[in-house]
Amino acid sequence: MKKVELLAPAGNLEKLKMAVLYGADAVYLGGEEFSLRAYAENFTLDELKAGVEFAHSKGKKVYVTINIFPHNDDLKKIPEYIKEVAGIGVDAIILSDPGILSIVKEIAPDMEIHLSTQANNTNFMSARFWHNHGVKRIILARELSLEEIREIREKTPDSLELEVFVHGAMCISYSGRCLLSNYMAGRDSNRGLCAHPCRWKYYLMEEKRPGEYYPVYENERGTFIFNSRDLCMIEHIPELVESGVSSFKIEGRMKSSFYVATVVKAYREAIDAYYEDKDNYKFDPRLLEEVCKVSHREFTTGFFFNKPGPKDQIYATSSYIREYDFVGVVQKYDKATKIATVEQRNRMYKGEEIEVVNPKGNFFVQKIEWMKNADGEDIDVAPHPQMTVYMPMKEDVEEFAMLRRKSSPNK
């Protein structure tokens, strides 16, 4: 059996590099247009070229999203954009619209095509249809159970790959086909502009009592009736692999580098451990602890085992759980002196305890014994965003190693 692919989000060039170095087999990203994450930083064509070169140098792949549902005006620019993307050498285009599919086949006939989850593929006949029209991979709708996925796998050609989301935010609408944002904020979720009204606070108002708002849920904070828990399937690698899917996808092009690297690393270790000894595989709970160290909501297994119920929603708050801070990333390291050059990401202090995470292996814990600024002056605190800091390391570190600390209300 071919090893399942681990596919990570890349909202910008740094996130792409972090995803690749921390264990992703491939990344997916959007350009400045035609992507369903219009508010992510996204990639210029020059940045896309640099990202593809970096990923390919590490033996990894890059998939570009052109997965909006285009209006007529959008179609004027898409052919030229496809030509430019294909010329850069991306490995696949992710799309959801049959019109864009036709353009890709005309402009770049050798390009691998993946069907976005926005196309809502939920059955084997639909999967066959798209495969017959040139689609290499189907990104299945989130609303499928493992049993349904297994049946789709059994009733489609082996040459068709199946991809599923395994981690990240869940939409309350049908695989993102939501009209709330368009109606309430004038921002079309199907053109990359979702305002996320599913996370807003809601009250009930009776028609003849304007201005009198009643909590839908008896709580002084209101209620978040559309607010789903985050998907997390890291404890269920065997079931996912055995369902026949080809790729595990992590959601999060708008998440931080810290989020991407941490989640990718945890899933990488879980997947590798499963393939090393399938018969005796046992999930390491440490990996669940790791994914809980990034900003997240409470977790759910979504539709994989059964349809979500009341316990899969969060009613009291739309806030994230944040127990750790990302405080720095290593830019350079001198093995002879054990001094690291660190780019600060959050205020950090001399004497405080941090965890240092390399792309591979376990993290280690140390205190910041001393710090110097870019001028070589001793400092007790690194207060400025992205300032350069020098500090000693207890163990050897690699470029792009992350520094994190347990959150404190006083920091």
Q: What domains does the chain contain, in order, with CATH numbers?
A: 5-172+228-300 (3.20.20.70), 324-406 (2.40.30.10)
- Give the pLDDT confidence score for residue 254 in this predicted structure: 82
Give the model confidence (pLDDT) of 256-307 as tens digits.
999 999 999 999 999 999 999 999 999 999 999 999 999 877 878 888 998 7
* More confidently predicted of 50 and 190: 50
Contact by Cβ (8 Å): 226, 198: yes
pLDDT at 38 over 70: no
Q: Confidence class of residue 203 from pLDDT cuts 50, 70 and 90?
A: low
- pLDDT class for 65, splitting at 50, 70, 90? very high
Report whether pLDDT(379) > 50. Answer: yes
Percentage of the chain beyond pLDDT 70 is 86
Mean pLDDT in the chain?
89
Confidence of residue 218 (pLDDT cuts 50, 70, 90): very low
**Is the pLDDT reported for residue 321 higher than 60?**
yes
Of 106-120, 154-168, 183-197, 337-351, give the lowest mean pLDDT range: 183-197
At 173 the pLDDT is: 61
> Worst-scoring range by mean pLDDT, 65-74, 88-97, 237-246, 292-301?
292-301
Question: What percent helix, strand, coil does the chain show, rounded to 5?
Answer: 30, 25, 45
pLDDT bracket for residue 211 (50, 70, 90): confident
What is the structure's pLDDT at 109? 97
Predicted structure pTM score: 0.87
Q: Between 300 and 343, where is the model more confident?
A: 343
Q: Which amino acid is it at 338? A: K
Q: Please give the average per-residue pLDDT across 93-112, as a whole number.
A: 97
The b/e string for 141-165 (b: 16+ C-beta within 10 A; e otherwise) is: bbebebebbbbbbeebeeebbbbbb
Ramachandran region of residue 71, left (φ > 0), alpha (ψ -120 to 50) or beta? beta
Distance (Å, whole) CA 186 – CA 270: 42
Sequence-distant (≥ 6) Cβ neighbours of residue 206 within 8 angstroms: 212, 214
HEC secondary structure over 44-85 = CHHHHHHHHHHHHHCCCEEEEEECCCCCHHHHHCHHHHHHHH
Residue-level pLDDT at 189: 66
CA distances from 402 to 149, 183, 290 (A): 36, 41, 13
CA 203 – CA 226 distance, rounded (Å): 12
Q: Is the pLDDT of residue 94 over 50?
A: yes
pLDDT bracket for residue 312 (50, 70, 90): low
Q: Which amino acid appears at position 405 of this protein?
A: R
* Residue 313 pLDDT grade (very low, low, confident, very high; cuts 50, 70, 90): low
**208 — pLDDT class (breaks 50, 70, 90):** confident
pLDDT category of residue 205 using cuts at 50, 70 and 90: confident
The whole-number pLDDT of residue 225 equals 62
Task: Note the pLDDT of residue 301.
Answer: 87
pLDDT score at 303: 85
pLDDT of residue 402: 98
For residue 207, the model assigns a pLDDT of 76
Q: Report the pLDDT averaged over residues 76-90.
A: 96
Among the listed residues 245, 125, 40, the one whose alpha carbon sits nearest the alpha carbon of residue 65: 40
Do the beta carbons of residue 92 and residue 111 sit within 8 Å?
Answer: yes
pLDDT of residue 209: 80
| Number of C-beta neighbours around residue 116 at 10 A | 25
Question: Residue 110 burial (CB < 10 Å; 0-12/13-18/19+)?
Answer: exposed
